[in-house]
Structure 1
Amino acid sequence: MAEIFLTGATGFVGRHLVPALIREGHHVWCLVRSVEKAAQLRARGCQVVVGDLTSDSFSVEGAEIVIHLAALHHGLPTLISRVTAEGTARLVQAAQAQGVKKILSLSTVTAAQNPSWPYAYAAWLAEQAIQASSVRYTILRSTVIVGPGDPFLGGIMYMAQAWPVVPIIGSGRTRFQPVSVFDIVRCVLQAITDERYTNRVLTVGGPEVLSYEQIVDTVFEALRISKRKISLPRRTTRFCVRWLERMGVRTPFVPGHFLSQDLIASSPSVIEDEFGFRPQALRAVLHAILSRCVTLEKSVA
């Protein structure tokens, strides 16, 4: 059992990781900004630190391991940098000063020294801050993470079910290597306790490389529906989405839907090679999502 300080506990991956950490017997402290979310985490058996990565309003004192999931993926470049890059640097400084033994950070395969892509650049700066510290670390660079509650696959499923036609942004040939959130959780649990992963940057992804259009077709197959697909110019669609969202209209689109750069790991077998288990294919992830929806509908009925 370890004393763990967790950021991003209420995010997509965090919501799946928290119960897994508790089941493993770890004592979990979660950094949250919202008092309401703090109450929810306490009810699940966590201790809570109310604070913010963009300020010095938190302490990691007493923690043996820091698991860092928090990041801002889109928005104003200055805010992305404040949360993702500067927030990580502040967290690392606190961990170093207060005797934390290890930091595990969930990053992205898009991390790059390229200021023109704010999130990728901020993620790269965050990685640099972690690697420059004296604290032992593991960085997991992930491809797109999918599962119950994820915005990328969830957005495609929503469009497939609710819209008369489903847009394919750009050519539809951008390649992805979707990885299950349950497999990411397994990797995190192994990496925080196994010294083989110490001071390493590991790229993790699912067992399949699929184009965006192939992912849409797989969603159609899982939902047992057939919809017309239309190709939309990437730049025009992004402009329209931003305009709608400024007007207060929510859309199912997330930045991943607009990518022109492939989002893939070095090999489809990377998790099997490094962590010793075969990750779930996209069809299995979709089955898990749909099974959970059916279970929820039955419980409500």
Structure 2
Amino acid sequence: MSIKQVTVFGGSGFVGRAIVQALALEGYQIRIAVRRPELADSVTTAGDVGQIMLMRTNIRMPQSVAAAIAGSQAVVNATGVFFQRGRQRFQSVHVEGAKAIGAAAIAAGIERLIHISGIGADSQASRSPFIRSKGEGERAIIAGYETATILRPSVVFGPNDQVFNRLAGLAAKAPFVPVIGSGKARVQPVFVSDVGAAVAAVLRRPDTVKTVFELGGPRIYTYRELAALVLHEIDRDKAIVGIPAGLMKLAAFFAEFLPVPPLTRDQIDLMLVDTIVRPGAPSLQTLGIQPTAAESILPMYLDRYRIGGRYNQHAPA
């Protein structure tokens, strides 16, 4: 069976949009399964007229998931939440949602299933509830659809990212740039478009079934080095100061009461451990994709944090 239509769960999110764009370029018909399609109209402009369709879907309801999959030959699960609110819990989205998607894919005879997880996903070892739920989600997908392909990105960057924009915002306003603890934990940022390209590459290659790919960029940084990179890009000279994790968690505890918290305790836990591709793990290069360097992309969207913006004649080249 040739793949003509792909259902993308979470296709209106940061990573999901890049996946939709990559699949649209490949000529697939795309169905985007989202909770609130009225807020996702802009995603349909990634393809030709009629190529991308929005469908209201609740992954907590198996019949809704089955309806979103019907008629497709491939499914991508890019759902995820970074903080818990109401019914949007790590367990319900990352685990129960994955379980429902895997079961529906089997029942519908879906040819390919791709699940977006994260480097370090571990259902037992991690102290982060977020990462544990990601690991449990992987297990739920495999239990329901054993030939699934899993993609584990490192920290994902791009114009609407969480990491570089947050650092640049702090650097522009605060007297110093804070990092968690010593700031020596390592990270391998991956460009969001490279994640989308990886999904398209996996669909082209039948030999990628039952494989876990770890997606990282071409360079490994410490979080302190990331802060220095951001300061360079926005042309600001400020100190980088390590803040004890316990103190940051206390601040994050209160921040979590905000409608959209700028930082959570889970995110702090993530920034205390390495998030890098394991040596020898299948990667972007395995898929024939040359990872994009952060330095080549950051100037395109961090310029707004410079004094004078992109027209600042003293901005870094």
TM-score by length of 2: 0.84
| Whole-angstrom CA distance in 1 between matches of 2:14 and 2:284 | 23
Deviations 1:111-168 (A, max 9, x none): 1132743222221122112223346321111111111101122111111122222112
Equivalent in 119, 124, 129 of residue 135 of structure 2 = 124
Q: How many Å apart are 1:26 and its aligned residue?
A: 0.7
CA contact (8 A) 1:156 1:252 kept: no
| Whole-angstrom CA distance in 2 between matches of 1:257 and 1:208 | 22
Q: How many Å apart are 1:17 and its aligned residue?
A: 2.2
Q: How many Å apart are 1:268 and its aligned residue?
A: 9.4
| Whole-angstrom CA distance in 2 between matches of 1:249 and 1:74 | 8
Distance 1:270 1:257, change over 3 A: farther
| Whole-angstrom CA distance in 2 between matches of 1:10 and 1:179 | 19
Deviations 1:70-118 (A, max 9, x none): 0223337992111100110011111111111110111111211327432
Matched, 1:94 2:104: yes
Matched, 1:16 2:18: yes
| Whole-angstrom CA distance in 2 between matches of 1:40 and 1:205 | 28
Q: How many Å apart are 1:251 and its aligned residue?
A: 3.0
CA contact (8 A) 2:214 2:284 kept: no
Q: How many Å apart are 1:241 and its aligned residue?
A: 2.4
Report the more deviating stretch, 154-163 or 115-124: 115-124
| Whole-angstrom CA distance in 2 between matches of 1:19 and 1:31 | 15
Q: What is the total number of aligned residue pairs between the two structures?
A: 297
| Whole-angstrom CA distance in 2 between matches of 1:31 and 1:2 | 17
| Whole-angstrom CA distance in 2 between matches of 1:291 and 1:226 | 15
Matched, 1:203 2:214: yes
| Whole-angstrom CA distance in 1 between matches of 2:255 and 2:128 | 22
Question: Partner of 2:314 in structure 1?
Answer: none
CA contact (8 A) 2:234 2:305 kept: no
Runs (5+) with no aligned partner, structure 1 = none
SS class of match (2:170): helix
CA contact (8 A) 1:5 1:31 kept: yes
Matched, 1:51 2:57: yes
| Whole-angstrom CA distance in 2 between matches of 1:282 and 1:64 | 34
Amino acid at match of 2:292: Q
Equivalent residues in 2 for 1:172-191, closer than 5 Å: 172-191=183-202
Q: How many Å apart are 1:250 and its aligned residue?
A: 4.8
Q: How many Å apart are 1:196 and its aligned residue?
A: 2.4
Identity across matched positions, percent: 25
Matched, 1:231 2:212: no
Runs (5+) with no aligned partner, structure 2 = 312-317
Question: Partner of 1:147 in structure 2?
Answer: 158
| Whole-angstrom CA distance in 1 between matches of 2:202 and 2:260 | 40
| Whole-angstrom CA distance in 1 between matches of 2:217 and 2:30 | 28
Amino acid at match of 1:28: I
CA contact (8 A) 2:249 2:268 kept: no
Say what the alpha-carbon RMSD is for the aligned residues. Answer: 2.8
Question: Partner of 1:262 in structure 2?
Answer: 274
Amino acid at match of 1:275: L
Equivalent residues in 2 for 1:32-71, closer than 5 Å: 32-42=34-44, 45-56=51-62, 57-58=64-65, 59=67, 60-71=69-80
Question: Partner of 2:286 in structure 1?
Answer: 274
Report the more deviating stretch, 178-187 or 237-246: 237-246
